[in-house]
A and B are shown apart, each in its own frame.
Chain A
């Protein structure tokens, strides 16, 4: 029975012996990489005028933010060509039977499109559009790796990705909207930009693009709003995996973690990331992001 065979294939047990995860550099997962043999990354590029850098490979955040401050024109970014994905998929397929390729929102970058072209050329690859960016992708990838660690199925992974897209917490604070706006990624938050009043915008992802969450004035109000969001989207007695990221603002990141600890919620910080050059191009310096999902 054909139906039966299809089901059986999907129900194949996936684990570290046969499955790998690919992310792009916007997942901001740099630290996990070297450590994990089942994880690999394909880089986007950042361009400062005539110079091109490979995200997380030949430019690291520290240098990026320095260049950003000194630059008289904003940097631009470009997606990996399909060939880069084909190469990576092919390389991994020699070792693993199944590949899950997890990426930032297709509405924010042509990366997913490139990966799609590659996926058509190589067997055994399943694409996942996180509909978000930065450590949100990193957190998703990390949770998928944990599932693979324990042993899972394709069905389970796809179901989890679906839940993640719909329900995971996602909030980020930028110190300015300028980069987001000039980079054309401001999405539905355009109404927040251009304010002459010193507003701190809190943003989120919805339907794969940036949406406004709230506007506040004053640092302490911003932190209070983060805490409020966390409490609203979580329940007591449930455990959460939390990822936080910062762009040239490690102190702000620690303040966010601290404010979460002041609640009664059970969680552990599984990922503390630095925002890479590609995301940094749109977020600008001083950004902090928070993502979380039920464990």
Chain B
């Protein structure tokens, strides 16, 4: 029995999403390995999986009695907030479009797969500034076309299977559309991941429920979700009510006027109650009148929020001056963090090893800013789309200065003035980016023949503006090649950030060596402490 009636119930949604997640998790590494660039970040498999995981988490916590449109909203929002990396952002837009269409469909008609997919495709294409064929977008589009070509009244499961089949065909075809894929001898990672996900979703029935899925009627012991500070009520109150002939719906009706985030689930002998209220005493009394109370928890959320905010603020780093505009920068590395903080950026978002924070993580930083205007500095090409998504969802003025690396972001910060308007700052900072030429040295994570350079796994590779320009076993040699391209005689200032890890010493030596070699250039060498990249360079 397939999901002929689409995820209109929360329980149904849990099964479908869990299936997709499981399938993607099993093949995460396969997807990651399809990535063409030999650089150690921007992993499609990881990003897609983490994005889907956000959906799994939110759906697992959802109250059972959500309406269809509420559930669709919840799923779309989970995807948008959980989006990581470019592929995650595109997936979140696909989900968003699909959910928008799904919410409008009739409850008692079989699922209109074609309409849902078409809306998903349109939304995804609109979200990408320059859509490229041979990527996830093409695969989704061809899956949609397959659905649209099915005869009306066809069996839903059959439609879904042919959609997935069309997906695989499309994925196989991607090397004919994108030369870089053909050169590397791989199919598109995002497209592949998308079909794996789809396959998992439709195969969800028949599998035993995963840990995230909850069978109808059983009591769920959830670990306490961290509260969003938007509730109007102060006390998070929850308990387990035990008794006989318990009437969950009646209790729910009585509790509804007392607060929000109400959850009443269970059977006639055990009911779990959770509510945000200003009258915890009244809520407990209602329970006491009907049975015995266990696992009682009452928390003052205001305190929780204030403490959490203080911790986050301390972690994130407040800027020295709060004026008209603040800059949220994504950083990795203790030294890089200090550099950005010292030059007026704050709050800061931790990018992690692979520089792929979720939209939600960036959104939380936005919530911490006091200035009327907020600028996002993604500092990695894989975070730009995520930042743009946050800017679109934030509900307040947020601008994005599209720095593609941390060292470029530093140059943009020099042009930042907290007393100036958001718009002027975006203008000036973006202009500052155009004067910087960036370079990097890292280790190749796979063999590759790229940008005309033969790369072997484990060797050092040098990149200039994202293009591979050199590969060798010796770090100095690669650093020299990068510097040679960056310092073309018109540049007077070179900034070098030295990273953390086993190559730190060699990297520091290479940097000093460059300083000696280029006497006419002013060098600034800092300990960035960034992971994975022994050298980050910027010339202006």
Report the Cα distance A190→B323, complex, angstroms: 12
- Which residue of A194, A198, A215 contacts B524 across the interface (Cβ within 8 Å)? A198
Chain B residues with CB below 8 A from A214, complex form? 417
Contact across chains for A220 and B524 when beta carbons are under 8 A apart: no
CB distance from A203 to the nearest CB of B (A): 12
Report the Cα distance A220→B492, complex, angstroms: 8
- Which residue of A191, A216, A217 contacts B321 across the interface (Cβ within 8 Å)? A191
**CB of A146 within 8 Å of the partner chain:** no
CB distance from A196 to the nearest CB of B (A): 4
Contact across chains for B342 and A197 when beta carbons are under 8 A apart: yes
Contact across chains for A191 and B524 when beta carbons are under 8 A apart: no
Chain A residues with CB below 8 A from B493, complex form? 217-218
- Which residue of A190, A198, A216, A220 contacts B320 across the interface (Cβ within 8 Å)? A190
- Cβ-closest chain B residue relative to A199: B414
Contact across chains for B321 and A190 when beta carbons are under 8 A apart: yes
Contact across chains for B342 and A188 when beta carbons are under 8 A apart: no
**CB of B526 within 8 Å of the partner chain:** yes
Provided the pairs A190-B321, A219-B492 are in contact, do residues A196 and B338 lie with their beta carbons within 8 angstroms?
yes
**CB of A94 within 8 Å of the partner chain:** no
Contact with A along B487-528 (1 / 0, CB 8 A): 000001101000000000000000000000000001010100
Contact with B along A201-222 (1 / 0, CB 8 A): 0000000000010111111100
> Chain B: how many interface residues by the 8 Å CB criterion?
24
Report the Cα distance A196→B344, complex, angstroms: 11
Contact across chains for A195 and B540 when beta carbons are under 8 A apart: no
CB distance from B365 to the nearest CB of A (A): 19
- Which residue of B339, B414, B418 contacts A217 across the interface (Cβ within 8 Å)? B414
Most chain B CB within a 10 A radius of its CB, from A194, A197, A215, A219: A197
- Which residue of A188, A190, A212, A218 contacts B522 across the interface (Cβ within 8 Å)? A218
Chain A residues with CB below 8 A from B540, complex form? 217-218
Contact across chains for A194 and B414 when beta carbons are under 8 A apart: no
Chain B residues with CB below 8 A from A195, complex form? 342-344
- Which residue of B411, B414, B418, B526 contacts A191 across the interface (Cβ within 8 Å)? B418
**CB of B180 within 8 Å of the partner chain:** no
Report the Cα distance A68→B506, complex, angstroms: 40
Report the Cα distance A215→B522, complex, angstroms: 17
Provided the pairs A217-B414, A218-B540, A219-B492 are in contact, do residues A191 and B320 lie with their beta carbons within 8 angstroms?
yes
Chain A residues with CB below 8 A from B415, complex form? 215
CB distance from A190 to the nearest CB of B (A): 6
CB distance from B428 to the nearest CB of A (A): 9
Provided the pairs A212-B417, A217-B493 are in contact, do residues A196 and B526 lie with their beta carbons within 8 angstroms?
yes
Report B's interface with A, CB cutoff 8 A.
319-321, 323, 338-339, 342-344, 410-411, 414-419, 492-493, 495, 522, 524, 526, 540
Q: Which 6 A-B pairs rank lowest in CB-CB distance, beginning with the nearest?
A: A191-B321, A196-B342, A218-B493, A195-B343, A195-B342, A215-B414
Report A's interface with B, CB cutoff 8 A.
188, 190-191, 194-199, 212, 214-220
